Amino acid sequence: MGALRSVNYRILVKVFERDGFAFNRQRGDHLIFIKAGTKRPRVIPMYEEVPIFIVKNLLRTAGMNRDRYFELLKSC
């Protein structure tokens, strides 16, 4: 398991889609994803480099641990 790094939003979208999240809508430069069984949508900003604190927050609220994240990241 490596260290979390900032990542392009396109890669982050692929990770969340492979975890079962589906694109719901877009508002400005923010993509909103939903998943059955979760209470709130996940908002992924369309940044060239999404900062680490946003990645960590998305993982925490999605209930995705680091091992799962890196597994999905490797498959992208």
In a domain, 61, yes or no: yes
Overall number of domains in the chain: 1
Contacts of 70 (CB under 8 A, 6+ apart): 1, 2
CATH number at residue 29: 3.30.920.30
Domain that holds residue 65: 9-75
Q: Give the predicted TM-score (pTM) of the model.
A: 0.90
In this prediction, residue 1 has a pLDDT band, given cuts at 50, 70 and 90, of low
Any domain includes 29 = yes
Please indicate, yes or no, if residue 19 is contained in any of the structural domains: yes
Residue 32 within a domain: yes
Q: Is residue 14 part of a domain?
A: yes
Measured between alpha carbons, how far is 75 from 68 in angstroms, rounded to an integer? 11
Amino acid (one-letter) located at 37: G
Encode pLDDT of 27-52 as tens digits. Answer: 999 999 999 988 899 999 999 999 99
